[in-house]
């Protein structure tokens, strides 16, 4: 199965696949508005704004699996992202990113790009996956990797 065939639910509750992003570069991130890394939303938005016209999108997937740092329903999450961090990149419904109930998208991402010491499991919020124009996961970034540090990898995929 291709990454483009995986069904996801938008933050507004609409079911879709990632097919609209076919041919684009994506940075897929598990997010949490209550996390200490939440200021990264601004950097992620900056990347999205800077490269959107070249076929790049940041996709945010809220998750409450790490110290329950994503509270509220999807509408409250969307509002917090917009009001507190100026987020306008696509957000999706809150999901699990690890364990038995992990969403198929994150199972795919972690199968394709392992973390430190070859681990598959996501350890914290703001783990980032860079996906190329063919839908291949080309790099995984740790929660501590600031969006600005990722920019050169994005430019490389866009060229």
**35 classed as catalytic:** yes
3-state secondary structure of 115: coil
Report which secondary-structure segment, H or E, holds 154: helix 147-158
* Degrees to nearest 5, angle at CA 41 with 90 and 93: 40
The total of other beta-carbon atoms located within 10 Å of residue 75's CB is: 11
DSSP annotation of 129 = E
Catalytic option among 11, 29, 35, 122: 35
The C-alpha torsion from 102 through 105 and 106 to 109, rounded to 10°, is 150
The C-alpha torsion from 135 through 139 and 145 to 147, rounded to 10°, is -40
Active site amino acids: 35
């Amino acid at each position: 199965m291709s990454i483009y065939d995986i069904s996801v639910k938008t933050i507004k509750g609409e079911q879709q696949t990632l097919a609209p992003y076919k041919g684009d570069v994506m940075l897929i991130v598990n997010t949490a508005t209550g996390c200490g890394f939440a200021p990264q939303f601004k950097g992620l938005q900056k990347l999205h704004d800077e490269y959107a016209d070249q076929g790049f999108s940041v996709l945010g997937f809220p998750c409450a699996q790490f110290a329950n740092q994503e509270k509220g329903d999807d509408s409250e999450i969307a509002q917090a992202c917009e009001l507190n961090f100026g987020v306008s990149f696509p957000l999706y419904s809150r999901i699990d990113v690890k364990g038995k109930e992990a969403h198929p998208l994150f199972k795919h991402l972690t199968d394709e790009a392992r973390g430190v010491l070859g681990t598959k499991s996501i350890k914290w919020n703001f783990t980032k996956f860079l996906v190329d124009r063919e839908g291949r996961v080309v790099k995984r970034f740790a929660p501590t990797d600031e969006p600005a540090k990722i920019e050169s990898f994005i430019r490389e995929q866009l060229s």
